[in-house]
Structure 1
Amino acid sequence: MIERLHSNRPPERFYRGGSRISSFRGEASDAAFEPEDWIGSTTTIFGEQELGLTRLADRTLLRDAVAADPAYWLGTDHAARWDGDVRLLVKLLDAGQRLPVHAHPDDAFAVQHLGHSHGKAEAWYILSGGTVHLGLTRDVGEADLARLVEAQDVDVLLGLLHEVPVTPGNVVLVPPGVLHAIGEGVLLLELQQPEDLSILLEWRDFALDGAAHGHLGLGFELALTAVDRRALPREALGRLVRAAPPSGSAFPPEADAFFRLERVPVDGPVRLDPGFAVLVVTGGPLALSGRPAPSGSTWLVPAGAGPLELDGAGEVLVARPPRA
């Protein structure tokens, strides 16, 4: 059956944020370093055993429930192809300060060097606007990039990236390897491959030891080979950052191999197709299969729940894994 999810906010992250998540959800929290809400998560924070995982109402870990019955949770086609691999992590992220410049490895790098099943492609649906930084404006040599990281020359490093204004309803696709940073004040819904793998090129003004922990335990000489050092042309940037259409598939088509996000306006009865999904109500209140679904609420939907009925006036974002 469908389940309403409460916040799952790992504490004491290295960057500030969280108040916009509290406001969006209508929850009371004044924690200054809880900037991420891991929604319907079967993924742990890098190096942790359970932190980041979602617990169901009966206190069962979602990871364990899916492993016990992948066909019910994920659908028979998905389970036949990928077994209990959900292939999706959904987050709310509140940048209480600008995030550091970083990148994520692709699948091949993650498998070969980290022993993980996935790299980390990600995409964002902007809920509160601001500025994001995405992709290099020019090619950068391997030695030059390494020197900037070692010197923590933040002004030069950030200045190498395209600076892009974003507004609510914009979407941003971040392929693996592409350098990026989220600007202060941005609240977004993030879909990503189910890994917590970040290569940090900047840490000077953050509460972490990036020299020790920014390279995934690989050392920067190897970790930086996962970074795309090629310039991102303006026309390519325009394909990665765009306004989401008012309904239907929200992300650029290139995202479909990793995850899917559907924007569903509701004005009266609407039926959602069956399948595993994480639902985020961005406008409401609504009724979800007869249950009250206020704006800011999040819901976990197993494939075995069948089609869902929405009613009311508002909007829902429907996050799903790639199609099997």
Structure 2
Amino acid sequence: MKPIVLASNRPPERFYRGGAALCAFRGEYGSPAHEPEDWVASTTTVRGEESLGLTTLPGGRVLRDAIEEDPTGWLGDAHARRWGADARLLVKLLDAGQRLPVHAHPHDDFAARHLGRAHGKAEAWYILEGGPVHIGLREEVSQEVLADLVSRQDVDALLGLLHEIPVRPGDVVWVPAGELHAIGAGVLLLELQQPEDLSILLEWDGFAIDGPGEGHLGLGFDLALTAVTTTARSAVEMGALVHAAPPSGSVLPRAADEYFRLERLPVHGAAAIAPGFSVVVVVRGVADLGGLALAAGATVLVPAAAGRVQVSGEAELLIARPPAP
């Protein structure tokens, strides 16, 4: 098994605008209006869909099926012993052509108890093109107040509850499950998340989505909002959520390790990618990765059975991995 270059995998007609910056990053032509996400090495479907969102490998095989047939080869022996064929990772490239709505994602216990899902949805972002992000409450708020703002779609008040922070290329943002957030217009990012498509929408006015019908995951807002964190974030806590990534090595807070890992690898001549299932994104420059000639914007899936992969060139790579087993 060898590293595999992956083509774009963009679900069409998402409910928010974006796609042009994603195409530019990937070196592709086109300016789609509502294709703001590239689901990279995905074994996850768009909520409510049978296959949309799944990655198809060169030759036509679906990645999810390939992993189910050989979890050890793809994910590694230790991972397969603990989690079977569950890759425990979804990677996306996301282009916010407009500000996303204020929303949150459920944690593992809530998702298991109320939705019958194997995971919640913690996530983290590596910023490729900067702009504003809104995350974390400035003051504690009750679920009753949130419910009232949601029912009235008081967008200004909802946004006003959150810290607004400018982010630049090379910053990382850790978004624990339950944390209210919204990505600002113009931000292009690499997202690591648990492999689910579960969002609790507090805002939908002006977006192409049925918020009253879909925003609560079919649970009703009274229950769905109990999954939202309502405590305030101090300046110190915000510094742990949003900060500049170190120039190399692991870039996410330790709290993210139980969900996924992200490594920044500068390449100046020669380097190596340690063994294990990973998704590699070339952020800048050109590189030879295991015999594959890659330019900025390329995405590569590395099976565990590929072992240690040699890299050469002048480039910067981001290496996304599932949690350590």
Q: TM-score range by the shorter chain?
A: over 0.9
Correspondences of 1:228-247 after superposition (within 5 Å) = 228-247=229-248
1:283 aligns with 2:281: no
Shift of 1:290: 1.9
Match of 1:62 in 2: 63
1:202 aligns with 2:198: no
AA of the residue aligned to 2:291: G
SS of the aligned residue for 1:231 comes to: coil
Quick one: distance in 1 between partners of 2:278 and 2:318? 10
Match of 1:219 in 2: 220
Quick one: distance in 1 between partners of 2:303 and 2:30? 29
Calculate percent identity across the aligned residue pairs. Answer: 62
Quick one: distance in 2 between partners of 1:201 and 1:71? 40
Quick one: distance in 2 between partners of 1:165 and 1:70? 40
Match of 2:171 in 1: 170
Quick one: distance in 2 between partners of 1:220 and 1:209? 14
Match of 1:272 in 2: 273
Match of 1:21 in 2: 22
Match of 1:292 in 2: 293
Match of 1:126 in 2: 127
Correspondences of 1:1-324 after superposition (within 5 Å) = 1-324=2-325
SS of the aligned residue for 1:46 comes to: coil
Quick one: distance in 2 between partners of 1:121 and 1:234? 21
Quick one: distance in 2 between partners of 1:94 and 1:271? 29
Shift of 1:2: 1.2
AA of the residue aligned to 1:147: D
Shift of 1:158: 0.4
Q: State the TM-score, normalizing by the size of structure 2.
A: 0.99
SS of the aligned residue for 2:113 comes to: helix
Q: State the TM-score, normalizing by the size of structure 1.
A: 0.99
CA-to-partner distance for each residue in 1:13-60, whole Å, 9 max, x for gaps? 000001111000100122100000000000001111100000000111
Q: How many residues align?
A: 324
AA of the residue aligned to 2:257: D
CA-to-partner distance for each residue in 1:77-104, whole Å, 9 max, x for gaps? 0000000010000000000000000000
Moved over 4 A (4+): none
Quick one: distance in 2 between partners of 1:290 and 1:210? 47
AA of the residue aligned to 2:190: L
Quick one: distance in 2 between partners of 1:52 and 1:39? 9
Shift of 1:254: 1.1
Quick one: distance in 2 between partners of 1:111 and 1:29? 40
Quick one: distance in 1 between partners of 2:273 and 2:158? 44
Quick one: distance in 1 between partners of 2:290 and 2:198? 36
Quick one: distance in 2 between partners of 1:288 and 1:231? 44
CA RMSD of aligned residues (A): 0.6
